Structure 1
Amino acid sequence: MHNTIAERLQTAYRALAEIQPNDRATAQLIAVSKTKPVNDIREAYLAGQRQFGENYVQELATKAQELTDLTQIRWHFIGPIQSNKTRDIAVYADVVHSVDRLKIAERLSAQRPVGKAALQVLLQVNISREDSKSGILPEDLLSLARQISSLPNIQLVGLMAIPAPAINGDNQQAFAAMKQLSTALQAEFPQADQLSMGMSDDWQQAVLFGATMIRLGSAIFGARS
């Protein structure tokens, strides 16, 4: 398959429009550009894509600095966060999907440059309770949300999850649990209505369970070398 990035984007958006329930706004497609060159990002941007996801702090900072001429680009940081790496995230990201402890949120809040819009943050939930994964456990979610909601310069906008790889590709249980958590969070924080879940292999199922952001890498940019 030698489809161009523009063609793959078109295919993804068409599929998203077909599957999206009519009573909801279309989920945002985050093009995950980690390890991909800036030329690929430019190609996607020229094809109309504006939301891009990066997993590594140094890569985010480098690409953001190289692509300042793409004035409408929005950078989503979706990787695990070490506390000594928060400064570049606070400077270059528009949205952070992977906040899972108060210390990280406090550092992002303190390091967000003056004059920039509030950094939008999602709380990462370890919905499959995997020892190897980042994320807060479901039962600790509301407590962390309350602590974070009062911080300046950041805005709590929702939840993110990376469920364990499912047998037969079925993550229905995990996605249903995330939908419930999202509803519980919105009862207390109505503005926190974003739900980031679903990747190249399971995004259709995620959308049916209320995902408002899907993170597609290989489906847009092709396999990683």
Structure 2
Amino acid sequence: MKHTLLQRFQKVVERIEALPTPKKPVLLAVSKKHSADSVRSLFEAGQRCFGESYAQEAVEKMSQLSDLDVVWHFIGPIQSNKTKIIASHFDWVQSVDRLKILQRLDRQRPADSQPIQLLLQLKVGNEDSKSGASVEDILIMYEAAKCLSHVEVRGLMCIPPPSQDFHQQCRYFDEAFQLFQKINKTDAKFDVLSMGMSADMEAAAASGSTMVRIGTDIFGARV
């Protein structure tokens, strides 16, 4: 099983290297619902950034892997009653879509920890089931974060509606890129655009993604 995992991981790495963009996006390995042993195997193969969507499951995994310098990203929907555990354990949070969540993460981040790195989740397309904030609300959260001490907004994340059409995928991603570029022009620290998964990585990279989130193509189907 470890051999198969490493083979899939290598194929994803090669796929990223083959992207026709001068700067390749960073790979976030989405390890939710997969074992700590699998994360350890990928860490030993050179992967450092891992994404989790379930806070309690992730904390248990972190405990088992405390000897490793893993960079943990929370990428799932955030409930108010989970902000304390997320703020206490994660290095990055990619799915901030409400001002209330932003403020709670700041307030609940341990004072002796480095500021938590945040991405604001932009809603693209018209899919009701997906989380995400409007452009207006993104800008409100971005400005509000300037007055907070324990969070640092580093960019945007988006999850577009599924599409098999490359040009439609690009249109969705371009919505996020336009806003990202607008803010980045005046704030060099706003430098991460997390978009693209297994089925649309190429379109995301063509549209300016700096980070892709890959789960199934690395770990296989979740159990």
1:204 alignment partner, one of 202, 205, 209: 202
Whole-angstrom distance in 2 between the partners of 1:16 and 1:211: 12
1:43 is aligned to 2:34 = no
Q: Which amino acid aligns with 1:13?
A: V
1:64 is aligned to 2:62 = yes
1:149 is aligned to 2:146 = yes
1:135-214 paired onto structure 2 within 5 Å: 135-168=132-165, 170-214=168-212
SS at match of 1:189: coil
CA contact (8 A) 2:2 2:41 kept: no
Which region of structure 1 is more displaced relative to structure 2, 189-198 or 118-127? 189-198
Whole-angstrom distance in 1 between the partners of 2:80 and 2:20: 37
Residue matched to 1:31 = 29
Residue matched to 1:6 = 6
CA contact (8 A) 1:98 1:160 kept: yes
Number of matched pairs: 222
1:168 Cα offset (Å): 3.4
1:95-110 paired onto structure 2 within 5 Å: 95-110=92-107
1:10 Cα offset (Å): 1.6
Residue matched to 1:55 = 53
Residue matched to 1:217 = 215
SS at match of 1:171: helix
1:137 Cα offset (Å): 1.1
The Cα offsets for residues 57-93 of structure 1, whole Å up to 9 and x where unpaired, read as 11111111221011x2000000000111101111111
Residue matched to 1:86 = 83
1:131 alignment partner, one of 124, 128, 131: 128
1:20 Cα offset (Å): 4.5
1:2 Cα offset (Å): 9.3
Whole-angstrom distance in 2 between the partners of 1:124 and 1:76: 14
Whole-angstrom distance in 1 between the partners of 2:26 and 2:13: 10
1:3 Cα offset (Å): 5.8
CA contact (8 A) 1:32 1:53 kept: yes
CA contact (8 A) 1:112 1:119 kept: yes
1:150 Cα offset (Å): 1.9
Whole-angstrom distance in 2 between the partners of 1:224 and 1:53: 14
Runs ≥4 residues deviating over 4 A:
none
Please, which runs of 5 or more residues in structure 2 have no aligned partner? none
1:151 Cα offset (Å): 0.9
Please, which runs of 5 or more residues in structure 1 have no aligned partner? none
1:110 Cα offset (Å): 1.2
SS at match of 2:152: strand
Alpha-carbon RMSD: 1.7
Whole-angstrom distance in 2 between the partners of 1:84 and 1:46: 34
1:149 Cα offset (Å): 2.5
Q: Which amino acid aligns with 1:91?
A: S
Q: Percent identity?
A: 42
Whole-angstrom distance in 2 between the partners of 1:149 and 1:28: 26
Residue matched to 2:17 = 17
1:167 Cα offset (Å): 4.3
SS at match of 2:137: helix
CA contact (8 A) 1:129 1:137 kept: no
Which region of structure 1 is more displaced relative to structure 2, 105-114 or 168-177? 168-177
Which region of structure 1 is more displaced relative to structure 2, 183-192 or 157-166? 183-192
Q: Which amino acid aligns with 1:37?
A: S
SS at match of 1:122: strand
Whole-angstrom distance in 2 between the partners of 1:67 and 1:2: 17
